[in-house]
Amino acid sequence: MVRIPKNGIEKKQQPSFFKIMFPSYSTEHLRIPPKFLRHIDYELSKRATLKLKRSSVYSWNVKVIRFRKRCVFQGWVGRSF
């Protein structure tokens, strides 16, 4: 069953994913989940912005790298929350 909002406009859900990141554990590359890659074009942008949900303060400009059927964000290392 689909719920229609009071304004009558159904909002389309954008594909998204989340990762739990611990300050004490970091890696140079943050892997994009394979199931998420199904929702985006094969020709990816070379740059992206990672944002913490519900925060206008924390965001990182990163490189998007694809290799061996995997895709990762590179460039967020050393950034503190």
pLDDT band at 81 (very low <50, low <70, confident <90, very high): very low
Q: What is the pLDDT of residues 24-67, one digit of tens each?
A: 655 556 777 878 777 766 556 677 777 777 777 777 787 877 77
The pLDDT, as a whole number, for residue 37 is 75
CB 36 within 8 A of CB 72: no
Helix (H) or strand (E) holding 34: helix 34-37
pLDDT band at 77 (very low <50, low <70, confident <90, very high): low
**In this predicted model, which residue has the larger pLDDT, 3 or 56?**
56
Residue among 66, 53, 54 at smallest CA distance from 17: 53
Residues 6+ apart with CB under 8 A from 76: 30, 50, 60, 62
What is the torsional sign of CA 34, 38, 44, 48?
Answer: negative
